[in-house]
Structure 1
Amino acid sequence: MLICLAYLAVTNAFAALRLLPMSDRDKDVEILVLRHQLAVLQRQLGPTRPRFAGADRAFLAALIAPLPSTVLHRLQLLVRPDTVLRWHRDLMRIRHARASRPRRTGRPRTVRSIRLLVLRLVKENPQWGYRRVHGELAVLGVKVAASTVWEILKAEGIDPAPDRAVTTWAAFLHSQADAILACDFLETVTLTGQRQYVLAVIEHATRRIRILGATAHPTVDWVAQAARNLVMDLQDAGVVVRYLIRDRDGKYPRASTRS
């Protein structure tokens, strides 16, 4: 509607400029011609009421309403003068309603990308409380209040301050997956009936399995050499390992119990 009003205003502004060089006689002739065309149109319409768009109503009401009542009732209009005045009152009521509409108060809603980042951090680190998440966001350069992080978690039904004193085994494996290896011996029998022991290692993060070797007599020295070969392979691949999960089999050297 506002676009239509602007279009009508520009169109009529150019029309007004066109009237400037016209003489009074030419203007009177144009008014008579327009009045006659209006009378022909009214005869054709008969009792049928013409339909005005909202922009047309607004323009006519703003243009005609300020005129004195004596002049207004002399105008040849497609609608009654009272109708035009009612249009004008409706426009004023809408204008005052918009002006008196209360403004939105309170803090603006947190940006969606920040909310998603907060929820992602908590999902990947279930034991983090809202203050830890707030600290991580500060490291990433995201400026947000700790209370805002608390509200985001609370709105999603997540405990903002979980008990961080207790860490489950599943949570530990999830948080340290990139630094964990697990190893074990697999026992198999060859076609000749010889029993073989296969030493295998699995990377917890990628589930990649490495076969370190197979032997019929796994000794501590043999396992230690296989472990040294594994360390060199991991260094060449740029893999950093901090934890090795194994059982209490006596074939492992004592050095493998150190961190």
Structure 2
Amino acid sequence: MTIRLVYRFGCLLLGWLRLPARSSAAKDAEILVLRHQLAVLQRTSPKPAFTPGDRAVLAALLRLLSKRHHSALKLLVTPRTVLRWHARLVAKKWTYPHRGPGRPAKPEALRALVLRLARENDTWGYRRIHGELLNLGWKVAASTVWEILQRAGVDPAPQRADRSWAKFLTAQAQGILAVDVFHVDTVILRRLFFLFFIEHGSRRVHIASITRNVTAAWATQQARNLMMSMNDAHTAGIRYLIHDNAGYFNQGFDAVFTAVGARVVPILPGVPRMNAIAERWVGSCRREATDRILITGKRHLRLVIDQYADHHNEHRPHQSLGQRSPDNAGSPEPPVVDGPSRVIRRDRLGGLIHEYAQVA
């Protein structure tokens, strides 16, 4: 024990005798280094850790000391570690930022427009919004619309498709005409019925008439009115007529279409999906129009149905038509939008339905 103490005191004495030979700047730098290390050791964390600021300070102070003093200085890290810190700082200074891999960011104008359409139309899914964007000139994928809605916390509606009848209806769509009767209850609980036809190929809807009592004679007359409103080429293209087994679709009604060479296909009992296109239009009309308005009477219902049918034929995009409307299916595609542009809104049914158009 005595020998160890004498050795320690001897080392301290030799170190004290060497101090006058050193410059004051070197001694000050060594004092700062030791103080900074002491501050690191006094931190409350279980294991002392050097932050980027600590590394920068130690690397700068040790640059003031000569290499022969590094070995005599008591450091928590080795000189090689300090040099590595300094090299890392130099590399970071001269490293220029670069764009990472992946697709470029979506334009902010596109994000804002997608969220606007979703906010103003709560029944629209991402594919419905995608079709509206294509009509406005935005060339984006449906997955891009889905991603924007998902990141904004908006639930994209799932795609619903009838797989069992999809192939048949796609192959035969140009020659299929479907018919159905749609009922609406007025505000005074009177039930009104109207007959409509829908073409599978073009998705065009034809509204017939409205009545309180559906009879076979009334339905047959509406079929004759439809055939007279079409030209010969149009009627000759009808190959199939789909309807349910209601009593008013009798032989006289079918004879109007068999006279032009069409084949009548009644759906099976309890299988409404065999007339899926007509049923889908009924559902869309209810969700977007009739279920959101109190119908007061026959004239009011006619106004609402005509407005919705015009919206359906002139503006509403359809997946089967490449997200085009029935009236615009054969027209040239709208110009491509590359940046921010002005989009105006036109309201139907008092603002219940919104239509958007690109301003030149």
Normalised-by-shorter TM-score class:
0.3 to 0.5
Rg (Cα) greater in structure: 1
TM-score, normalised relative to structure 1: 0.36
